[in-house]
Homo-oligomer: A and B are copies of this chain.
Amino acid sequence: MDNTRIIEQALETALLAQQGAEGPPRLAQAMHDAVFPGGARIRPHLTLAVAQACGADDLELAAAAGAAIELMHCASLVHDDLPCFDNALTRRGRPSVFAAHGERLAVLSGDALIVAAFQSLATAGRHAPERLALLLQTVASAVGAPSGIIAGQAWECEPRVALAAYQRAKTGALFVAATTAGAQSAGTACAPWRALGEWLGEAYQVADDIRDVASDPATLGKPTGQDAAHGRPSSAAELGLCGAIQHFDQLIAAASAAIPSCRGSAQLRTLVRLEAKRLVPVELTRRLAPSIARIPA
């Protein structure tokens, strides 16, 4: 089974455990719409790829860890789209959960997805309790306070923003969790895998900034111009579009170089290269910043 199928199946399993005839059907539908159809699923792909590179004997646990991280990502998108934050009506080219199901079910489905993430991880990890304990800590730290994605979003409510902490928390944390969880679910040391997650998280944040100013909403599947509209820090605003693209390429090169030498390193480098192409396509550079030479990842 290829990794895409493994990931979708793990997500389906996680959501199936949250359904039942005794539950409110609209909540189940809102949770489903928050998760399917998905985006690139880059975080669980990373988790699986790192687990495989570490010679994982139990891909079920890696898949559940990746799915838990993806569910947390989906939950954060649902809450970010709420009227009190981005008030976004579209997401992944479709109505956001808030637009489709209303504000109350957007709050509740985000909450329920956070619980679902922990529950599916606990279920998959019941036969490997030592690994489970580490994975729970990894996922919880990457999501909660003081430095997970919820804390990252909360920096937007502060009068003074600690910019590095904000970006590390808002985007980086879940990428670090993705690589770390891959190693932990394989029962191997996770420290060598942190840097890959950190560089990728930073690259992803820069790509997000670039796409927010340079993409058209139809291609991106969500509103653009949000950083300027909400006064959020943006590397595209700071460095200019050309500068941001060059910075992105440098971050991708650093991510690629940070992959520890191991059996699966070539496969991981391919994953990073393809992801870089998807995030900031050459065509977008040609159209908007034809003067710059892209570094091949």
As for how many copies of this chain the complex holds, the number is 2
Q: Point out the residues of chain B lying under 8 angstroms from A105, CB to CB.
A: 154, 157
**A157 x B111 contact (CB < 8 A):** no
Complex CA gap A28/B118 in Å reads 22
**Which residues of A, 162-191, contact B by the 8 Å Cβ criterion?**
162, 165, 169
Instruction: Say if the beta carbon of A130 comes within 8 Å of chain B.
Output: yes
Contact of A119 among B79, B144, B169 (CB under 8 A): B144
Interface of A is mostly: helix
Q: Which of A131-139, A218-226, A260-268, A275-283 contacts B (4 or more CB under 8 A)?
A: A131-139
Q: Note all chain B residues with C-beta closer than 8 A to A23.
A: 145-147, 151, 165
Interface string of A79-96 (1 = CB under 8 A from B): 100101100000000000
User: Are the C-beta atoms of B112 and A140 separated by less than 8 Å?
Assistant: no
**A27 near B136 (CB under 8 angstroms)?**
no
Least CB distance, A187 to chain B, in whole angstroms: 15
A253-294: contact bitstring with B at CB < 8 Å (1 yes, 0 no)?
A: 000000000000000000000000000000000000000000
Give Cα A206 to B155, complex, Å. Answer: 40
A103 CB to nearest B CB, Å:
4
Q: Given A18-B145, A107-B84, A122-B136, are A24 and B157 neighbors across the interface (CB < 8 Å)? A: yes
7 nearest A-B residue pairs (beta carbon): A23-B146, A129-B129, A115-B144, A20-B146, A119-B140, A27-B154, A122-B136
Ordered by A's residue number, 17 sampled pairs between the chains whose C-beta atoms are within 8 Å are A19-B145, A20-B146, A22-B169, A23-B145, A24-B154, A27-B146, A27-B154, A27-B157, A31-B145, A84-B102, A114-B115, A115-B145, A116-B144, A119-B137, A119-B141, A132-B133, A136-B136
